[in-house]
Amino acid sequence: MNPLEIPEIVIKRLPLYLRTLKLMADQGQTVTSSQELGDKLRISSTQIRKDLSYFGEFGKQGTGYDIGYLRDQLRKILQVNRRWDVVLLGAGDLGHAILRYSGFEDRGLSITAVFDKDEQKIGRPIAKLKVLDIATLHEVIQEHRIQIAIIAVPASEAQEVADALVNAGIRAILSYAPITLSLPAHVRIHYIDPVIGLQSMTYHLNPGPL
């Protein structure tokens, strides 16, 4: 099947499958089923089988999935069977939390530079990196041909930072700033906003006491 025909919603579920398979493997498990994956992720087993069928045959009727094999295949499909360099914009509380998050390295991603415009922060060490002057952003991205950036600056600065990233050649942005960015069509964007997640749950809650 032509990759262009695979619905984006399917692509977005694959990292969830991969994360769950990793946790199972870390606990010593070697085989799973669409039913077990579905129970853990609250997705129907039919949906999981349908999603995976876009990419081939990964399990046999009655024996389930070999976790190691399925992980390898999903890593290849998502292109995380390699290491992508990522730049981080913003060295505040959120930047610190992102840099100290240990989940990147063994999942195909590595934050290799962090930038800020605050002179108090430039040159300071965070985790294994030193904060770089945002004035050097273009040069660093071009030199290392970096395609991925994380925006962790205040909302008021996010569009300006995004423009600079696009200008330097970035193709994919993960943004924590709670605004919708204007970006050219060739640049992918994924937003992380806790309120979006919370508001999709308040819909279901019992109003209870005000």
Q: Which residue ranges make up the site for its own copies (CB under 8 A)? A: 9, 11-12, 14-16, 18-20, 23, 40-42, 77-80, 82-84, 86, 92-94, 96-98, 100-101, 103-104, 107-109, 145, 147-148, 150, 155, 171-172, 174, 178-180, 182, 188-190, 192-210
Round to whole Å and give the CA distance between 10 and 53. Answer: 11
Nearer to its own copies, 24 or 132 (CB): 24
Q: Kindly state the smallest distance separating residue 101's Cβ from its own copies, in Å.
A: 7
Nearer to its own copies, 49 or 107 (CB): 107
Q: Kindly state the smallest distance separating residue 182's Cβ from its own copies, in Å.
A: 8
Q: Specify whether the backbone of 76 is left (phi greater than 0), alpha (psi in -120 to 50) or beta.
A: alpha
Q: Kindly state the smallest distance separating residue 202's Cβ from its own copies, in Å.
A: 5
How far, in Å, are 10, 112, 138, 176 from residue 133 at the CA level? Answer: 38, 14, 11, 20
Nearer to its own copies, 60 or 145 (CB): 145
Find all residues with CB under 8 Å of 129, minimum gap 6, and list them: 99, 111, 112, 113, 114
Q: Kindly state the smallest distance separating residue 49's Cβ from its own copies, in Å.
A: 19
Nearer to its own copies, 118 or 135 (CB): 118
**What residues pair up with 149 in beta bridges, in sequence order?**
87, 173
Strand ordering across the sheet containing 148-151: 125-126, 129-133, 109-116, 84-89, 148-151, 172-175, 188-191
Nearer to its own copies, 31 or 172 (CB): 172
